[in-house]
Structure 1
């Protein structure tokens, strides 16, 4: 108990409000400064009760000064809506309270028009993962997310399902040769791939984007860390699909998940900081700072975001092209979609900006991919165009536990037994990506029957992820 960390709830219980002073107090607590936990709590209570007495204190001066200027700061903030705004929540009984609270705050923004929370939702930064938010001519960098344009891409080949078992070693070698995984990973100059995306004029928009072009070239066709993957598996269509032009059957398929790598992460960080400088929101909403699309800054981010989205698509194209070249045969179909992005769309007769942070576009007839985990199926789906869901669906199963909790509590032996039982070969990955760390994909899919139709099922068999579980993207 002596060294137990003081958290925000402890300070709120003392009477602190959710404002910048709370943040200053938490920073001071991290330093601890030689005090015990009990002594720190005593001082925090005393400073809150009489900040004037601490304005010259060596340790707590910054907190006292922050408390004394709260009234002035509160008056300068853009006010949030005070009336409760309702929005649909899919699979609500399986969604943590923190995600709902984040969505409530997002709906209170003065620019918010409509929202929805998908069945795989969990807490994130700003908008929750699985949050969909429509705004009036405003773009929220943390409503898009750090990994801008994170994307699913699926190639279905004219090779039978048993090709996997017969050619397992060959397929593993193809995956290892065609991309790189992990934080900071990229290709050396002689290994790099040229692509039209690198010639986009947007790279010349400003100094930031110009400085990122070489890094983007080096990382083109790489997959990053975290939950990103390249998988060979079996795609099963129970009945022929006219739109895809594929007969019923089981086929070899390639499924990839990754985003815009360092390019997108740097853009997100830069424009989030800029948005916070220009858009002064109350403390609890600061990560939802937005840029007006009528301003130069808003247009700059919009162009940079679209560049990152195009770049993410190009990364998948490079990977799939390399695999296709090594594999041979014929590709019967390719389906892909972003899930960390913002689009201009018409909702109830008006143009809005739709943020889908960890959510799949599911307009009527729109194809998308919703993966499960390394040991559970994914689904090729067709959207039903549900207006209440803002034409969206989940982007996966969603996390059941944090990465830290998964690493601390899950068993590598249990994971190996599960993969062996299902005939799944895993290359790389940390315990934070174990299937047990995710919600049940079947429960998630059941909660969104009104949003998508399942066209086919993908069963992963060879899974490649970052060796160290790194989380750059």
Structure 2
């Protein structure tokens, strides 16, 4: 039976549709088959319409993973040439995916005892759980406070990479290795760090910096994978450019800017919300989480600076995690080598060219998808292929590495960031059976570090990943390059921090 929100969505193809948003505005672009569109509840639809009708917004895209978010749906793209919006970035600034490819054949980790040894080696280096940092694990990577201030301002600069022992070539495998301030400089960000230290935004910057190289809680994870490249000529050629190795072990990571990003985001929400109240400015859809600032205003500049600080921390968090993962594998398999395949965000606003004019593209639970020949990829290793797209599904269905097709122009060169939730956390905890969840992991021969796998993170809490991928392919947005099959998962049962 159809969801009643489906009556508002008008199909334009097998996996494309539009959602009218009212008079005088173009509709929301919807990506998803009928089965996927039926997963969008009333709140998700209302948030998409509110986002499209918000001041200065020119485009909104609702992706197959769309569900309730912070102001705007998670799984949406929101474009504005004139305004910046914190909600469609969210409280975990630059939550991202990264993939480390190892030169280790899959059969090397077939033995469950070997995987248990690897789990211990990883968990001794990378903390999980809200608020936990390097001091909470045996071999955590501690960061000097002065280096920490520099990385907030400079991101993965040559000096920062050298100070942290990160291979400098890894910076070139990042969607954005560094972010700059509103004026295009890192000086503005260094000044912003001083400002936040003076007013106490971070409470204890030194302690918060020790969260670098950590996963946090909620839906964040580390996952040991086996790479299975699609059996066609294009996929094999693209996989070669990406540095993927068929039948070898890889490691997929999902996390963001941790406590620093959360502090910065909440500071911005509180500041903007107080100004909206003081100046009696109408809120889009009467939603306090859809506050905004005009580009070029003091408020807009301050948000861009704070978002950039959080984004730079997230970048280094991922690079340090991948360094720690490589060291963990080398402890068990001396001499093993690993290279970063890619690092890509799904909670960020970036200035891009949309329909021949500059605009800020907000991706909330959405991933950039530039195809071969896109002007932004000129001079990069991905100029002739498109860049890697890392899409987590769930441990049992697998995850995917994709590459954008020309049709991605329909979605403002974006795709979904994963499967997307179909059950809220409380609903999942009420509805799902712990014993069945844990047995399902055992049946799939997937090990975890959890005594009990978190019920609100169980595969059944997420949408059908195959149908999500089918939507992306049928809409002409991207093609699959490889599937990643999980062998073990690093999770935490703490409440979500993103």
- Who is 2:247 aligned against? 250
Map of 1:316 onto structure 2 = 318
Could you tell me which residue of structure 1 aligns to residue 70 of structure 2?
A: 125
Q: Do the aligned residues in 1 keep the contact of 2:132 with 2:216 (CA within 8 Å)? A: yes
Instruction: Please report how far the alpha carbon of residue 191 of structure 1 lies from its aligned counterpart in structure 2 after TM superposition.
Output: 4.8
Tell me if the contact between 1:371 and 1:396 (Cα under 8 Å) persists in the aligned partners. yes
2:261 paired with 1:264: yes
Does 2:318 correspond to 1:299? no
Post-superposition Cα deviations, 1:304-363, rounded to whole Å, max 9, x if no partner, equal: 111111111111111110121232312244211010110000000111111100001111
Q: How many Å separate the matches in 2 of 1:264 and 1:333?
A: 23
Q: What aligned pairs does 1:1-150 form with structure 2 within 5 A after superposition?
A: 82-91=23-32, 92-150=37-95
Which of 343, 348, 357 is the equivalent residue of 1:336? 343
The aligned length equals 393
**CA deviation string 1:424-443 (max 9, x = no partner):** 01222420001111101010
Contact 1:215 1:263 in 2 (8 A): no
- 8 Å contact kept, 1:432–1:469: no
Alpha-carbon distance in 2 for matches of 1:180, 1:322: 11
Residue in structure 2 matched with residue 241 of structure 1 by the alignment: 237
Counterpart secondary structure, 2:312: helix
Match of 1:227 among 219, 224, 229: 219
Residues 210 and 272 (structure 1 numbering): CA distance in 2 closer, same or farther, change over 3 Å?
closer
Residue of structure 2 in register with 1:12 after alignment: none
Tell me the residue number matched to 1:458: 484
Q: Which residue of 2 aligns with 1:469?
A: 494
Shift of 1:194: 2.8
Give the CA RMSD over aligned residues.
2.1
| Stretch of structure 1 that moved more, 182-191 or 352-361 | 182-191
| Cα shift at 1:232 | 0.9
Between Structure 1 and Structure 2, whose CA radius of gyration is higher? 1
* 1:439 aligns to 2:466 (yes or no): no
Aligned to 2:282: 281
CA 1:221–1:296 in structure 2 vs 1: closer, same or farther (change >3 Å)? same
Distance 2:64 2:313 in 1: 28
The Cα of 1:105 is off from its aligned counterpart by 0.7
Alpha-carbon distance in structure 2 between the residues aligned to 1:248 and 1:224: 29
Q: How far is 1:289 from its partner?
A: 0.8
Label 1:174 to 1:248 Cα distance change in 2 as closer, same or farther (>3 A).
closer
- Quick one: distance in 2 between partners of 1:210 and 1:126? 24
Segment of structure 1 superposing worse, 259-268 or 420-429: 420-429
Change (3 A) 1:139 1:83: same
Cα distance in 2 between the residues matched to 1:131 and 1:421: 34
- Give the structure 2 partner of residue 43 of structure 1: none
Contact 2:101 2:243 in 1 (8 A): no
The correspondence of residues 353-372 of structure 1 with structure 2, limited to 5 A, is: 353-364=360-371, 365-372=386-393
- In structure 2, what is the equivalent of residue 373 of structure 1? 394
The 8 Å contact of residues 241 and 247 in structure 1, kept in 2 or not, is answered as no
Give SS of 2:134's match. Answer: coil
Q: Hey, what's the Cα distance between the residues in 2 that align with 1:393 and 1:224? A: 25
Is contact 1:374-1:434 (8 Å) kept?
no
Which structure 1 residue ranges, 4+ long, deviate > 6 Å from structure 2?
none
| Counterparts of 1:344 and 1:245, CA distance in 2 | 25
Cα separation, partners in 2 of 1:278 and 1:136, compared to 1, 3 Å: farther
Q: Describe the SS at the equivalent of 1:106.
A: helix
- Whole-angstrom CA distance in 2 between matches of 1:398 and 1:441: 9
Distance 1:114 1:245 in 2: 31
Alpha-carbon offset, residue 111 of structure 1:
0.8
Say yes or no: does 1:193 pair with 2:142. yes
Q: Secondary structure at the match of 1:263?
A: helix
- Structure 2: how far apart are the matches of 1:111 and 1:216? 35
The 2-side partners of 1:371 and 1:191 are apart by 26
In the other structure, the counterpart of 2:439 is 417
What SS does the aligned partner of 2:222 have? Answer: strand
Question: What's the secondary structure of 2:328's corresponding residue?
Answer: helix
1:187 is displaced (CA, Å) by: 2.3
Q: Deviations over 1:16-64 (max 9, x none)?
A: xxxxxxxxxxxxxxxxxxxxxxxxxxxxxxxxxxxxxxxxxxxxxxxxx
Q: Is the contact between residue 180 and residue 222 of structure 1 (CA under 8 Å) also seen in structure 2?
A: yes
> Quick check: 1:238–1:248 contact (8 Å CA) kept in 2?
no
In the other structure, the counterpart of 2:205 is: 213
- Segments of structure 2 that go 5 or more residues without pairing to the other structure are 1-20, 154-189, 331-335, 372-385
1:392 aligned residue: 414
